[in-house]
Amino acid sequence: MKRRTLLQASPLLFGLAESVQAQSAYPNKPIKYIVPVAAGGGSDMIGRTFCERLSKVLGQNVLVDNQSGGGGVIASQATARAAPDGYTLMQGYVATHGTAPATRKLAYDPIKDFTPIGMIGSTPNVLVVNTALSPTDMKSFIDFVKKNPGQISYGSAGAGSLTHLTAELFKAQTNTFMVHIPYRGIAPATTDLIAGQTQAMFPGLAAALPHIRSGRLRPLAVTGTQRHPALKDVPTLEEAGLKGFDAQQWYGVVGPAGMPAALVTQLNNAMAQVLAMPDLREKLSAEAVELTPMTSNQFGEYMKKDLARWTALARERNINLDNT
């Protein structure tokens, strides 16, 4: 009887062992890494640089799949619908999981439909002004705007973008008014700022640095909790008096909801190894990205807080792109 029971159980035991072995062998095929922008540009470079090193750590190819369109909506939907087996990951960032869901209804839930894996890094925004403007620091700029209500305009990369919401956060915290001029991207907005068509903007630091270094734009303050190494002499907005002011262009890795905890831990550990590579910081410095290792739980909480911040601001400032 015991021998017969053992023989009957053997196929089940063998199948279980095979399943465990398959799980422990992850990854045993290439991993798709969705980047929600077109090839080329800073976000794509970050993804490719990261994947090149993650491939070495995991011993398996991590292939970039650019899925642009809808401001990251197409990529996010594709990721949310994928199997939670670790073979489809996405480079989530502030637009896909922060500013876009804060300002309009989307076909995905930025929290419930994803598994946070870990943070790659972040880069601050910087308040820059046209050099013809007289203010040379934050205090004098705020005074200048208050003395010229409605006469100062700021550009953005588009309605609902981080550059837009950061400026609105600034207006809310300083009780000032500036006219918003949305553009189709940061490049034309920068061109008009340099030409004096607008007077101020909050671009990402990487986009602003060449123009700051050439003297065509004047930096007044950076977002974030500490000064950036690329602009050591420029204070943070908090240093300049705006307590708790924070706005970051962040990049991280997410997967579909429901990924097994052991798999998430394995990927997060692999990320930690990548972020510890000495050459990665140097490579990503071209995009002014400061590496920010986090556990899965820390990254999940970060995303929730960031989404809550921008959602509250959008409601307060009545920014609803569904009505435009």
d(CA 87, CA 62): 9
pLDDT band at residue 263 using 50, 70 and 90 as cut-offs: very high
Q: Taking the chain, what is the end-to-end CA distance rounded to the nearest angstrom?
A: 75
Residue 11: both structure tokens together: 């196929």
Cβ atoms of 188 and 200 within 8 Å: the answer is: no
User: Tell me, what amino acid is at 207?
Assistant: A
Flag whether 92 is in a domain. Answer: yes
Q: What percent of the chain has pLDDT over 90?
A: 85
> Does residue 306 sit in the same domain as residue 220?
no
Does pLDDT of 306 surpass 80? yes
If one counts the domains in the chain, the total is: 2
Q: What is the pLDDT of residues 39-70, one digit of tens each?
A: 998 999 999 999 999 999 999 999 999 999 88
Does pLDDT of 4 surpass 90? no
Kindly state the average pLDDT of the residues 288-299: 96
Does pLDDT of 152 surpass 50? yes
Q: What pLDDT sits at residue 22?
A: 45
Q: What is the pLDDT of residues 114-151, one digit of tens each?
A: 999 999 999 999 999 999 999 999 999 999 999 998 89
Return the CATH number at 150.
Answer: 3.40.190.10
> Does residue 58 sit in the same domain as residue 88?
yes
pLDDT band at residue 244 using 50, 70 and 90 as cut-offs: confident
* Residue 33, C-beta contacts closer than 8 angstroms, at least 6 positions apart: 47, 51, 54, 62, 63, 64, 65, 89, 90, 91
Last residue of a domain, one of 183, 204, 231: 231
> Does residue 130 sit in the same domain as residue 119?
no
Return the CATH number at 95.
Answer: 3.40.190.150
Flag whether 17 is in a domain. Answer: no
> Does residue 97 sit in the same domain as residue 175?
no
Does pLDDT of 7 surpass 50? no
pLDDT band at residue 101 using 50, 70 and 90 as cut-offs: very high
Q: What percent of the chain has pLDDT over 70?
A: 92
> Does residue 176 sit in the same domain as residue 271?
no
Q: What pLDDT sits at residue 149?
A: 86
Q: What pLDDT sits at residue 324?
A: 62
Does pLDDT of 79 surpass 60? yes
Kindly state the average pLDDT of the residues 282-293: 92
Q: What is the pLDDT of residues 183-193, one digit of tens each?
A: 999 999 999 99
d(CA 219, CA 209): 9
> Does residue 112 sit in the same domain as residue 130?
no
User: Tell me, what amino acid is at 306?
Assistant: D
Q: Please give the C-alpha separations between residue 246 and each of 124, 159, 314, in angstroms, as whole numbers.
A: 9, 19, 15
d(CA 201, CA 6): 73
What is the rounded average pLDDT for all residues in the chain? 92
Q: Which domain holds residue 114?
A: 30-123+249-323
Q: Where are the beta strands (DSSP E) in the chain?
A: 31-35, 62-66, 88-93, 114-124, 126-130, 153-156, 179-182, 200-201, 217-222, 248-256, 290-291
Does pLDDT of 262 surpass 70? yes
d(CA 170, CA 202): 10
d(CA 110, CA 92): 9
Does pLDDT of 11 surpass 60? no
Kindly state the average pLDDT of the residues 214-231: 94
> Does residue 208 sit in the same domain as residue 134?
yes
> Does residue 77 sit in the same domain as residue 137?
no
Flag whether 25 is in a domain. Answer: no
Q: What pLDDT sits at residue 8?
A: 55
> Does residue 119 sit in the same domain as residue 131?
no
Q: What pLDDT sits at residue 41?
A: 87
User: Tell me, what amino acid is at 220?
Assistant: L
> Does residue 135 sit in the same domain as residue 114?
no
Length of the chain: 324
> Does residue 71 sit in the same domain as residue 102?
yes
Q: What is the dihedral of CA 103, 104, 109, 115, to 10 degrees?
A: -40
The model carries a pTM of 0.89
Q: What pLDDT sits at residue 250?
A: 97
